[in-house]
Amino acid sequence: MNKKKLILVYFLWLSTIFISAQTIVYYSSDENYSILETISETEIQNYDYYIKLISNAERQEYIYFNKGEIQKRIVVTQTDDGKQEEEWQDDLMTALRIYRGQQLVSEKIYNTTEAEYITHDYFYKNNILEKIVVTPQNKKSYEIIYIYDASNKIRALLIHDKVISLSQFSGASIFSKWNQTIFSIEVYTVQMLLQFRFDYDATGKCIFEEERLYQNSVLTTIKQNNYSNNNYRTVTYSNSLIQEEQTFSLNKKELLETIQYVYDEQNLLIKKIILSKKETTVFEYTYDNKKVIGEKKYSNGILKQITRWISDSMSVVELYENDGVIIKITYNNGKKVKEEAWLNSNKIYEKDYE
């Protein structure tokens, strides 16, 4: 065997070792990408949210999907005293995290639209988080300090010297986390059901709060206050009906909008009703094998639009005008490819688009 053949065999052998050392596993997940269970590659089409894990001895890559589209990637590399974690969206890094052992000690969060970043440095005492030093790019640092009771449960936080007391949640489990530049506090019941959530900006001002009510551990109501845009929202769950009430400000006027979602026995949305002061809008949905193939839209009881999905890429929208004219628009991958106008079953206009 000559030298070239030996080299070729050697590289083929190395490739075989690399391939055999790499494993791929799929997991189903919820919308927050918490892992639910292991699934096979052939099952992923049955899930909206799932995770693909590609791993070897030194590196793990988690790929997060929503309806078949990649939402983000997290690449984990082992280091001498812990690990490094990179979070990516498309080709942009959105976060870099450094762990010592299992403890997060530093993270840098990147703003992908403004080319800025913010750094969080974590400090521990007796393996319990004591404070976070927050350093926005080119701005002064500030601290978030944790205050615990004798059983090491969080009872208060200090943000910019503003005290946030959590003493009223004496029997609850309390967690905190970052979402880009927003600092969130979550309060869970003894059954580990989310009960309250509070979001704070960098000044320590509460900009959002949420309360969840349960009956026999089943979610019945969600109440939300968004202080940044003066929006109040209540969602009520009852058997096959979900009702959402939303109060918001428009041109200095406070408006109330109610949305009702009606589901069938297979938990498929069959009707969406939007109630406002001036208009009632109804959407009706039809399915084929649990996949939406049609949508009808009514305004104050009058049919205004029908959408039919011919395939995954092709759809036809029919618009019903007040003068009896029906406009039919055909889309291919979201792009308009044809437009027709009909009156009394007669075609009066047609145009193709390249």
Q: Of 57-61, 230-234, 246-250, 294-298, which range is least confident?
A: 246-250
Residue 39 pLDDT greater than 70, yes or no: yes
Look at residue 170 in the predicted model and tell me its pLDDT. 66
C-beta neighbour count of 137 within 10 angstroms: 13
| b/e burial code for range 67-85 (CB count within 10 A of at least 16 → b) | eeeeebbbbbeeeeeebeb
Which residues neighbour 185 within 8 Å (Cβ) at sequence distance 6 or greater? 157, 164, 166, 174, 175, 176, 196, 197, 198, 200
Residue 18 pLDDT greater than 60, yes or no: no
Look at residue 99 in the predicted model and tell me its pLDDT. 95
Supply the pTM of this predicted model: 0.59
In order of their start, the domains of the chain are 22-78 (no CATH), 92-215 (2.40.128)
Instruction: Specify the 3-state DSSP secondary structure of 223.
Output: strand
Question: Which whole number is the average pLDDT over 110-131?
Answer: 87
Instruction: Specify the 3-state DSSP secondary structure of 3.
Output: helix
Pairing of strands 128-136, 291-299: unpaired
The phi and psi torsions of 26 (rounded to 5 degrees) equal: -115, 140
Look at residue 232 in the predicted model and tell me its pLDDT. 87
Q: Of 59-73, 251-265, 292-306, which range is least confident?
A: 251-265
- Exposure of 270 by Cβ count < 10 A (0-12 exposed, 13-18 middle, 19+ buried)? middle
Q: Are 48 and 33 in contact (CB under 8 A)?
A: no
Look at residue 353 in the predicted model and tell me its pLDDT. 87
Concatenated DSSP letters for 312-331?
SSEEEEEEE-TTS-EEEEEE
Look at residue 96 in the predicted model and tell me its pLDDT. 93
Look at residue 135 in the predicted model and tell me its pLDDT. 87
Look at residue 38 in the predicted model and tell me its pLDDT. 93
The beta strands (E) that lie in 67-205 are given as 69-78, 82-89, 92-100, 103-111, 116-125, 128-136, 142-148, 154-159, 162-165, 173-179, 182-188, 194-200
Question: Which whole number is the average pLDDT over 177-198?
Answer: 84
Q: What is the pLDDT of residues 263-287, one digit of tens each?
A: 888 888 999 999 888 889 999 999 9
Question: Which whole number is the average pLDDT over 181-208?
Answer: 84
Whole-angstrom distance, CA of residue 248 vs CA of residue 254:
6
Residue 25 pLDDT greater than 70, yes or no: yes
Q: How are the residues of the chain apportioned to helix, strand and coil, as percentages rounded to the nearest 5? A: 5, 65, 30
Whole-angstrom distance, CA of residue 145 vs CA of residue 26:
38
DSSP run (H or E) holding 243: strand 241-250
Look at residue 316 in the predicted model and tell me its pLDDT. 94
Q: What is the pLDDT of residues 134-184, one digit of tens each?
A: 888 878 888 889 988 888 888 888 887 778 777 777 667 788 888 777 888
Q: What is the pLDDT of residues 63-115, one digit of tens each?
A: 999 988 999 999 999 988 999 999 998 888 989 999 999 899 999 988 877 77
DSSP run (H or E) holding 16: helix 3-21
Q: Of 37-41, 247-251, 296-300, which range is least confident?
A: 247-251
Q: Mean pLDDT, the chain, as a whole number?
A: 85
Look at residue 174 in the predicted model and tell me its pLDDT. 82
